Amino acid sequence: MTWTPSSWRGFPACHIPDDYPDSAALGAVESRLAKKPPLVVASEIEKLKTELARVCVGEAFLLQGGDCAESFAEFEADRITRYFRAFLQMAVVLTFAGGKHVVKLGRVAGQFAKPRSEPTEVKDGISLPSYRGDNINGAAFTPQSRIPDPERLIEAYHQSTASLNLLRALATGGYANLENVNRWNLAFARKQGKASVEYVKLCHRIEESLEFMNGLGLNGSVGIGTDAVDFFTSHEALLLGYEEAMTRQDQLFGSGAYYDTSAHMVWIGDRTRQLDHAHVEFCRGIANPIGVKCGPSLDPEELLALLELLNPKNEAGRIVLIARYGADKIAAGLPKLVRKVIEAGRSVVWSSDPMHGNTLKTASGYKTRPFERVVSEVSDFMDIVRAEGGYPGGVHLEMTGDDVTECTGGATPVTEEALASRYRTHCDPRLNADQAIEMAFIIAHSLRVGRQQRRMAAAGL
Ligand code: PEP
Ligand code: CO
């Protein structure tokens, strides 16, 4: 079947709203979007693919993270800066501990639309359509606010461009300076209770390495820049009308390939990965790297069929499989998936989303994720993928740079009672800055132990 940017319209689609009051107005907005400048360009998208191809073969590690849902109300420069800072802190720790390049992929600058478990929300006996993300309808619990409004797509586009503009400036304008980032990490490490000594030691080792590089005259020269990083963006390709409008045929390289220029990478959610549905149809035709969320309901044969559709040429760097089982389900579900994919000779990045399978509701009604369950899922993920002969190549986190109280636990624990104090998410609970950075230190520990064991084995000890 011939693919076009709009061929998905001939397929059944889940989680795309069909209740816009004026479909002509929606069409007009999509036409306006199609004329707007792309957020990212083909060469950057290909660069990310090259970096992900390195993850496929175990030469790099993928860090993907950001808000569950970006919001219009929380769109502030300081929030973006704090997020980027936490992200950099994590990336530095992981780079040092793993001894490998870290691919930095934000879940940002376009992450608005949400698939919802329930089509309606009931409060005090009143039932309204669910909130579906700021680019579709409003979070306020009023009938008016829950009506989908196409103009929200334009606002989301502009928020994405402005966010990306700041992120690009932060990534290349000196903010990412390694010595700064290590200083922030040291300040974090000092206040981590029992874990402080180990974390501070790691920061000191990074400091020594930086001094060594300075001594060699390598700081910022010969392409080993310590001041600038490549930062890529991603979001769930849920609202296909928007993604279609942002899809452009490459003019620069003359390849004729179509790129979804709304982000460097997009992913297909766990609820929209049906083989014969619209989301898979759309994603198979764009040249971007594609993520696929893999949850307990995914059968290994179905995954192979998905890989055949989405990556018939088995191109390395094209597919990121994002396992999101839940700490209590990963041991039963993931091994057979990894085995099948390896047996079939498929080149993929294996990444762990330890957030979406670990959500629970407290007695007082808050959706939360216990930090220890998140840690447990990542750790099991690493063991399982390794045991099956694969490379656990990444993590996908819902996180913020702010001091929110949404997930319980961590070294400076958020208690269940404290959740109410700064519970700000518009959708799922996120790791706060400290919890996210702690997560990086914990993963770093496991990466370092692995490397030390390999070194000792190589030395015959
Ligand atoms: C998400 O990443 O926000 C999400 C909805 O995930 P999943 O599709 O894995 O449930
Ligand atoms: Co989420």
Q: Which protein residues have their CB within 5 A of the ion that is ligand 2?
A: 68, 428
Q: What six digits make up the tokens of 357?
A: 């399978």
> What atom of ligand 1 comes closest to residue 107's alpha carbon?
2
Q: Please answer whether residues 400 and 389 qualify as being in contact, where contact means their C-beta atoms are separated by less than 8 angstroms.
A: no
CA 35 to chain CA centroid, nearest Å? 27
User: Given its phi and psi angles, is residue 108 left (phi above 0), alpha (psi -120 to 50 degrees) or beta?
Assistant: beta
Q: Is the CB of 356 under 6 A from ligand 1?
A: yes
What ligand has the least distance to the C-alpha of 272?
Answer: 1
Which residue stretches of 16-109 are H helix? 23-34, 42-56, 77-98
Question: What pLDDT sits at residue 220?
Answer: 53
User: Whole-angstrom Cα distance, residue 174 to residue 227?
Assistant: 5
Pocket test for ligand 1, best of 112, 271, 325, 425 (most atoms within 8 A of CB): 271
Question: What pLDDT sits at residue 254?
Answer: 80
Q: Please answer whether residues 39 and 164 qualify as being in contact, where contact means their C-beta atoms are separated by less than 8 angstroms.
A: yes
Strand partners of residue 118: none
Domains and CATH numbers, the chain: 7-176+228-458 (3.20.20.70)
Question: What pLDDT sits at residue 101?
Answer: 95
User: Whole-angstrom Cα distance, residue 2 to residue 47?
Assistant: 27
What is the number of other CB atoms lying within 10 angstroms of the CB of residue 317? 24
User: Whole-angstrom Cα distance, residue 35 to residue 191?
Assistant: 50
Ligand 1 midpoint to CA 114 (Å): 8
Ligand 1 midpoint to CA 299 (Å): 18
Q: Is the CB of 15 under 6 A from ligand 1?
A: no
Ligand 2 midpoint to CA 398 (Å): 7
Question: What pLDDT sits at residue 222?
Answer: 40
User: Whole-angstrom Cα distance, residue 125 to residue 221?
Assistant: 64
Pocket test for ligand 1, best of 356, 396, 399 (most atoms within 8 A of CB): 356
> What atom of ligand 1 comes closest to residue 114's alpha carbon?
5
Closest CA to 112 of 419, 389, 427: 427
DSSP string, 389-437: T--EEEEEEEB-SS----S-BTTTTBPTGGGGTT---SSS--B-HHHHH
Q: What six digits make up the tokens of 196?
A: 């402080």
> What atom of ligand 1 comes closest to residue 115's alpha carbon?
5
Q: Is the CB of 324 under 6 A from ligand 1?
A: yes
10-residue block means of pLDDT along the chain (461 residues)? Answer: 96 97 98 98 97 97 98 97 97 94 97 96 96 98 98 98 97 88 94 91 93 80 62 98 97 89 98 98 98 98 98 98 98 98 98 98 96 98 96 97 97 95 95 97 89 89 88
Closest CA to 320 of 372, 374, 264: 264
Ligand 2 midpoint to CA 357 (Å): 10
Q: Is the CB of 206 under 6 A from ligand 1?
A: no
Amino acid letter, 192: Q
